[in-house]
């Protein structure tokens, strides 16, 4: 079996010139409906590669904490790239005649943020054993059904017809286990078509090992979420908005900033205040 770092090796590009919103329509026969799409800012420049899974292990939390506005999404993309995978679409920007290019619609970004926010909300309430918080989302109807309701989501965790065995496994009225079960469903639903397994050679063709292969950043974010959900990872938010892991031995528990750049910035502004 592959070791952790190997299994999660994944590089993702960030366009150096950044990203902009443009009104465009999906490239389909006769389609005329326009929508804002995130696209590469012209002129096209080099792309910087980074490793979200191993070097930015709290990125799924950063993503879920976004307000789904054009400016916050563009800021996120300028730091971490587009979502890729099935979020990508071939589009025709409004300035015609314009060639077809790849873009990501505002509505898809919004959906993805909401979905991850939903899953994280449930997980965080469950981890804190917050019954009041969970009761807003997990509802027992008598002894025969457990429902889940989140933003833009209505689902059934278990009923006499669906996963009936869970009704026996979960203590009547328990909200934590059904919430965690629903988080697991969200994760599986989101990674099933977005992460594949490949057995791959190293660069020198000496060794081969099993790798998880996300279809884009969106697949990587859910893989990251799954990995955090299965472990005991803890995260903290930096003043710049980025969430980072504070699980020893990767980082000290007392660490307050995501990078030395943010640490220095905070130090300088503190100095300015005290001067």
Least separation in angstroms between CB 241 and Zn ion:
7
Taking CB under 5 A as the rule, which mask of x and - marks residues 189-228 in contact with Zn ion? ----------------------------------------
Stretch of residues binding Zn ion (CB under 5 A), selected from 21-29, 82-90, 178-186, 259-267: 259-267
Strands 208-214, 195-201: pairing kind: antiparallel
Least separation in angstroms between CB 112 and Zn ion:
22
Q: Is 258 in the site for Zn ion (CB under 5 A)?
A: yes
Q: Which residue has the tokens 């300028």?
A: 78
What CA–CA distance (Å, rounded) separates 228 from 168? 28
Least separation in angstroms between CB 238 and Zn ion:
3
Stretch of residues binding Zn ion (CB under 5 A), selected from 1-9, 108-116, 172-180, 262-270: 262-270
Nearest CB to Zn ion, comparing residues 106 and 262: 262
- DSSP string for 91-150: EEESSSS---EEEEEHHHHHHHHHHHHHHHHHHHHHHTT-HHHHHTTEEEETTTEEEEEE
Taking CB under 5 A as the rule, which mask of x and - marks residues 222-251 in contact with Zn ion? ----------------x-x-x---------
Helix (H) or strand (E) holding 5: helix 4-7
Helix (H) or strand (E) holding 237: strand 235-237
Helix (H) or strand (E) holding 55: helix 52-55
Q: Is 59 in the site for Zn ion (CB under 5 A)?
A: no
Q: Is 266 in the site for Zn ion (CB under 5 A)?
A: no
- Residues 6 or more apart whose CB falls under 8 angstroms from that of 264 comprise none
Q: Is 262 in the site for Zn ion (CB under 5 A)?
A: yes
Nearest CB to Zn ion, comparing residues 7 and 76: 76
Q: Tokens standing for 244? A: 């980072």
What CA–CA distance (Å, rounded) separates 51 from 257? 19
Least separation in angstroms between CB 263 and Zn ion:
8
Residues making contact with Zn ion (CB under 5 A): 238, 240, 242, 258, 262
């Amino acid at each position: 079996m592959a070791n952790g770092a190997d299994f999660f090796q994944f590089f993702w590009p960030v366009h150096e010139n950044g990203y902009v919103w443009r009104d465009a329509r999906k490239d389909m026969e006769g389609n005329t409906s326009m929508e804002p799409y995130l696209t590469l800012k012209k002129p096209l420049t080099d792309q910087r590669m980074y490793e979200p899974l191993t070097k930015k292990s709290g990125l799924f939390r950063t993503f879920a904490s976004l307000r789904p506005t054009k400016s916050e999404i563009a800021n996120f993309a300028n730091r971490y790239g587009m979502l890729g995978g099935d979020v990508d679409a071939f589009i025709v920007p409004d300035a015609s005649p314009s060639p077809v290019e790849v873009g990501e619609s505002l509505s898809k970004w919004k959906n993805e943020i909401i979905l991850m926010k939903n899953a994280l909300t449930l997980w965080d309430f469950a981890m804190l054993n917050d019954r009041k918080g969970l009761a807003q989302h997990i509802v027992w109807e008598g002894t025969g059904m457990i429902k889940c309701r989140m933003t833009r989501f209505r689902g059934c965790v278990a009923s006499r017809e669906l996963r009936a065995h869970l009704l026996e496994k979960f203590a009547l009225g328990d909200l934590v286990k059904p919430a965690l079960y629903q988080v697991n469903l969200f994760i599986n639903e989101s990674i099933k078509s977005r992460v594949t397994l490949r057995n791959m050679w190293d660069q020198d063709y000496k060794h081969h090992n099993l790798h998880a292969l996300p279809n884009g950043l969106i697949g990587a974010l859910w893989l990251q979420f799954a990995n955090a959900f299965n472990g005991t990872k803890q995260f903290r938010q930096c003043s710049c908005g980025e969430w980072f892991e504070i699980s020893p031995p990767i980082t000290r528990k007392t660490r307050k900033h995501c990078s030395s750049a943010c640490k220095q910035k905070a130090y300088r502004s503190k100095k300015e205040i005290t001067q």
